[in-house]
């Protein structure tokens, strides 16, 4: 994916890691109630976990431009042990009423499915306007512009990787977003099973 990983090794970040490690040791688990012990990821394993996060972020960037949901299914999975956040549950109810909040894969599919519907409405609005016609008011309300910009290479700063058996937890950030992600090992592949991310742009 050509995304660079910048491991933060400053004293402030090391202090953050140590404090979070102490919280984990005390039984405070930020990744959805999973039990430990949470250990520091080592060598190749840590590289695989971070690469899985990068690949999942890239898959979402592709889905935002093509609405190809096969890339989402390849990098996300529902997991009963990692429930959606209250915000995700509320958004899922809005995007896909009646859908069971099974997990992060269900949420991501609903998110990009709703965006695709909005992008199709946007195209109909544009087509009507180019033809000198009034667009359907329902399309105007539903319209969401698709992403047309190229996928940017956003360096990922990794603050924390913890592993407990076939589960992993990562804290990282780009210039646009903070990531707090839970992963599960499916066969030989790490996939995202929980997200509690925060946009730095306030949206």
The model's pLDDT over 55-92, given as tens digits with 9 standing for 90+, comes to 999 999 999 999 999 999 999 999 999 999 999 999 99
Number of H helices, E strands in the chain: 6, 7
Residue 201, Cβ density class (10 Å: 0-12 exposed, 13-18 middle, ≥19 buried): exposed
**Tokens 């430990």, residue located:** 36
Q: What was the pLDDT predicted at 23?
A: 35
Spatial contact of 167 and 24, defined as CB atoms under 8 Å apart:
no
Whole-number mean pLDDT of the chain? 82
For the entire predicted model, the pTM comes to 0.77
SS (H, E, C) 102-165: CCHHHHHHHHHHHHHHHHHHHHHHHHHHHCCCCCCHHHHHHCCCCCCCCCCCCCEEEEEEEEEC
Task: Give the chain's end-to-end CA distance (angstroms, integer).
Answer: 26
User: Pairing mode, if any, of strands 189-195 and 177-186?
Assistant: antiparallel
Per DSSP, the three-state class of 190 is strand
The conformational region for residue 103 under phi > 0 = left, psi -120 to 50 = alpha, else beta, is: left
Options 3.10.450.50, 3.65.10.10, 3.50.50.60, 3.40.190.10; CATH for 5-199 is 3.10.450.50
Nearest Cα neighbor of 53 from 203, 178, 199 is 178
Higher pLDDT, 85 or 9: 85
**Cα 35 to Cα 30, 45, 194, 199, distances in angstroms:** 10, 19, 15, 28
Q: What was the pLDDT predicted at 4?
A: 37
Please tell me the least confidently modeled range out of 35-49, 53-67, 68-82, 186-200.
35-49
pLDDT band (50, 70, 90) for residue 152: confident
- For CA atoms 75, 80, 86, 89, give the dihedral sign: positive
Return the domain boundaries, the chain. Answer: 5-199
- For CA atoms 123, 128, 129, 135, give the dihedral sign: negative
Nearest Cα neighbor of 164 from 68, 55, 33 is 33
């Amino acid at each position: 994916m050509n995304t660079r990983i910048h491991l933060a090794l400053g004293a402030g970040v090391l202090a953050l890691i140590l404090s979070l490690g102490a919280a984990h040791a005390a039984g405070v688990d930020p990744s959805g109630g999973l039990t430990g012990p949470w250990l520091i990821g080592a060598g190749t394993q840590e590289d695989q976990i971070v690469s899985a996060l990068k690949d999942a972020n890239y898959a979402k960037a592709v889905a935002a431009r093509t609405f190809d949901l096969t890339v989402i299914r390849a990098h996300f999975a529902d997991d009963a042990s990692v429930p959606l956040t209250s915000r995700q549950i509320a958004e899922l109810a809005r995007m896909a009423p009646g859908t069971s909040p099974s997990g992060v894969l269900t949420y991501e599919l609903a998110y990009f499915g709703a965006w695709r519907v909005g992008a199709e409405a946007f195209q109909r609005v544009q087509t009507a306007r180019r033809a000198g016609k009034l667009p359907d008011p329902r399309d105007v309300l539903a319209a969401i512009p698709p992403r047309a910009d190229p996928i940017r290479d956003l360096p990922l700063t990794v603050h924390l990787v913890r592993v407990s058996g076939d589960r992993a937890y990562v804290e990282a950030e780009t210039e646009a977003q903070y990531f707090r992600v839970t992963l599960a090992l499916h066969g030989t592949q790490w996939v995202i099973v929980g997200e509690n991310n925060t946009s730095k742009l306030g949206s």
